[in-house]
Structure 1
Amino acid sequence: MSFTTEVKAEIAQNELTDSQMRAQLSAMIQMCSTLSFTNRGMHIVVKSENANTAKRVWRLLKERYQVDSELSVIKKMKLKKNNVYVIRIVNQAADILKDLEIFTDAGLQSHPSSQLTAKEADAKAYLAGAFLASGSINSPQTANYHMEITANTEALAKYIQRQMKKFDLPAKLIKRRAQHVVYVKASDKISDFLRCIGASDAVFTFEDSRIQRDFMNALTRLDNCEVANEMKSLKAASQQLEDIDWIENYSSLEVLPPKIKVVAQLRKAYPDSSLNELCDLYQEKTRETISKSGMKHRLGKLREIANQYRE
C-alpha cells in the first residue's frame, strides 16, 4: 500500500460536523465528478480510483442528504488495470450542487465562496476533501519530499492555495499539461499539512522516516568528511616522505637543524600518522610540546630544503 493510500484511508475515517461534511463534499464532488443529462434529469457522476475516497463520498452523501446513490465498479483495461469506483447521484442532484456552492443561479462555479471555508475546521475539512479527491504524497522513505493536489482549473487551484495559506502552508502553483497543480516540497510543511487534514498516524510515520533519514544523511556526510580528511592527510604524508627521500639522496638528514631532523625521523618512522599524532610522538621523544601549526611549519621547512635539492 502506498503512503498516499494510507493517508487517504486515515482521513476518510475522521468524524465530521455537518458544516465540515458540506465543506469536504464540496471539494470532492467538484474535483472528481461530472454532470450528465438524461431523460430522468441531471445526474452527478463521481469517479475515483481510490476505494476510500469513493466510500467517503457515498457515506457523506447519505448522511447529509439521505440520498441513495448508485455504486458500480469499472475495471480499467489499460496501464495498471485499476478499479474505477463510480457513484451516480440521480435524485436531488441540483439541490446538492447548490448546497455545496458548485452550482448557483449564475451557473457552475469554479470554486465555492469563502464563506464555505470561513471556519478553520471547515477549511481543514475542505483541504482533506481536496486531498482525497486528487492528492498524492511521496513516501517519506524516498529522498524527494513532495505533496500535491491537482485541479482542473487555475481558479480552483488558487482557491486551494488560499486555504493552505490560512495554516501557514506556502504552497506553489504549476501547470502540468491540462492540470493545475498545488504543491509543497518542504518536509516540515508537508508534515504540517498532514496534521492539518487530520492524518495523525501519517504524521508520526512521516516524521519518524524523516528523522531517521536525516540522521543517516548526517552520518554519511560525517563519514565522507572523515574519509576526505584521511585522504588529504595521506597525500600530505606521501609528499613529506618524498621530500625526505630527496634530502637523503642528495645529502643526509644529519645536515638538518636538530628540530627539523627529529620531525623528519618521526615522519619516516610513522608514515601514516596524522599531524596530531606526530605532535604527541614529538613530545614523547623530546619532552618538548609542539602545536599543530608548529609541526606544519617544520614540515614546510622540510619541503623548502627538498625543493632546493630539486632545483
Structure 2
Amino acid sequence: MSFSSDVKDELSRQISLGRHCQIAEIAAIISLCGKVIISIEDKYCIKVHTENVAVARKYFTLIKKTFNINTEISIRRNVYLKKTRTYSILIKGHEDSVRVLNACKLIEDGEIKENLSIVSNLVIQNSCCKRAFIRGAFLASGSISDPEKFYHLEIVCTKHDKAVQLQNIINTFELESKIVQRKKYYVVYIKEGAQIVEILNVMEAHVALMNLENVRILKEMRNSVNRQVNCETANINKTVSAAVKQIEDIKYIKARMGFEGLSEGLGDVARIRLEYPEATLKEIGELLSPPVGKSGVNHRLRKLSNLAQELREFDKEEIL
C-alpha cells in the first residue's frame, strides 16, 4: 500500500463520538465525491462513488451510525484495469436522502445546491467539526505523496467555490493551504513538510503523523551529515590547495635566491613547510622554536608568497 492509502485506511477507522462531527464528515464526502440523482417523479437518491475501499467503508459506517439508514453497495471492476475496483454507495429512499441532505446543509429551501457545497456554517461551527470535515474531504478526494520522495498533500475539488471553502476551513488551523487550477479541477494543496504534519494532526491521523515525522527526522539527519561532509571537504580542499601553493612559492624562492637572504622567522617557516608538506598551520607553529600561533605562521607564509610573486614579476621583466 502507498503512504496515501495508509493514511486513508487509518482515517477510515476513526469514528467521531459527536453526531455533529459525523454529519460534518458525511457532508464533506458527499460534497466531494457524491451526487444527487433526481427521478422523473422529482424523488431524490444520493450516490457516492469512490475507488478507495476505505472511503466506502467509512461512508457506509457513518450513514448507518448517524442516521440508521441502510445503503446499497455495488462493486465494479474496470475491464481494462483488472485490479481497479469502484465502489458505489446508494441511499435510495427519498425521505432518507432529504434527511441526510438537510442535516448536512447541502440543500437550501428545498433546493439542492448545484455544486453540493455546504450552505451553512452550522455544519462546521465547532473546531472538532472542522477537523471532521477536512478528514472527510481528504478521504473523498485527497492524496499525499510518499514523504521519502517529496512533501505534497492535496484535495481535488470540482468547483472553485468548494476549493475556497475548504481552503478557509483548513487555514483556520493556522495552516497555509493554497489553490491551483489543474485542467477543469481546483486543487487545495500543502507542500511544506511541517504543515503536512500539522494537517495530519488536525485530521487525527496520529500513526501516519509519527511515520512522517520519522521520515522527516531521518532526511534532516542525512541532510545535516551531507552539509557537514561537504563543508569539511571544502575546507580540506581549500587547505590542500593553499599548502600546494605555499610549497610552490617556497621552492621558487629556494631555487631563485636560497633561504640565506631570508629573515630567521621566514627561513624557519619555509624549511618546515617543505619538510612537512601535509602539516597544518598549527602543527607548523608548534615545530618552530619558539612556537608560534596559527596567525603568526599564516602571516609569515603570506610574506613568502608575496616575495615569490615579486621574484616572478622581476624575472618576467628581465626576460622582456
The normalised TM-score by structure 2 is 0.90
Match of 2:131 among 120, 124, 129: 124
Question: Is 1:268 matched with 2:274?
Answer: yes
Q: Distance in 1 between matches of 2:288 and 2:248?
A: 23
Q: Distance in 1 between matches of 2:228 and 2:47?
A: 56
Contact 2:269 2:288 in 1 (8 A): no
Q: Distance in 2 between matches of 1:101 and 1:124?
A: 17
Structure 1 residue 80: deviation in Å? Answer: 8.2
Q: Distance in 2 between matches of 1:81 and 1:178?
A: 27
Specify the code of the residue in structure 2 equivalent to 1:134.
Answer: S
Contact 2:153 2:189 in 1 (8 A): yes
Match of 1:294 among 290, 293, 296: 296
Structure 2 partner of 1:14: 14
Structure 1 partner of 2:234: 228
Tell me, what secondary structure is at the counterpart of 1:68?
Answer: coil
Match of 2:112 among 97, 101, 107: 107
Contact 1:111 1:155 in 2 (8 A): no
Tell me which moved more, 223-232 or 252-261. 252-261
Q: Distance in 1 between matches of 2:258 and 2:90?
A: 97
Structure 1 partner of 2:3: 3
Distance 1:203 1:248, change over 3 A: same
Aligned pairs for 1:24-63 within 5 A:
24-38=25-39, 41-63=43-65
Tell me, what secondary structure is at the counterpart of 1:194?
Answer: helix
Tell me which moved more, 100-109 or 125-134. 100-109
Match of 2:68 among 66, 69, 78: 66
Q: Distance in 2 between matches of 1:153 and 1:254?
A: 87
Tell me which moved more, 84-93 or 48-57. 84-93
Tell me, what secondary structure is at the counterpart of 1:304?
Answer: helix
Specify the code of the residue in structure 2 equivalent to 1:230.
Answer: I
Tell me, what secondary structure is at the counterpart of 2:260?
Answer: helix
Deviation track 1:6-40 (CA, whole Å, cap 9, x = no partner) reads: 11111111121211110000000110012334468
Contact 2:48 2:88 in 1 (8 A): yes
Contact 1:26 1:112 in 2 (8 A): no
Question: Is 1:83 matched with 2:63?
Answer: no
Structure 1 residue 268: deviation in Å? Answer: 1.1
Q: Distance in 1 between matches of 2:34 and 2:214?
A: 36
Q: Distance in 2 between matches of 1:140 and 1:80?
A: 28
Q: Distance in 1 between matches of 2:92 and 2:24?
A: 21
Structure 1 residue 234: deviation in Å? Answer: 0.9
Specify the code of the residue in structure 2 equivalent to 1:103.
Answer: I
Q: Distance in 1 between matches of 2:74 and 2:261?
A: 97
Structure 2 partner of 1:207: 213
Structure 1 residue 159: deviation in Å? Answer: 1.1
Match of 2:203 among 178, 197, 213: 197
Q: Distance in 2 between matches of 1:116 and 1:219?
A: 48
Tell me, what secondary structure is at the counterpart of 1:59?
Answer: helix
Identity of aligned residues (%): 31
Gaps of 5+ in 2: 314-320
Structure 1 partner of 2:317: none
Q: Distance in 1 between matches of 2:166 and 2:121?
A: 11
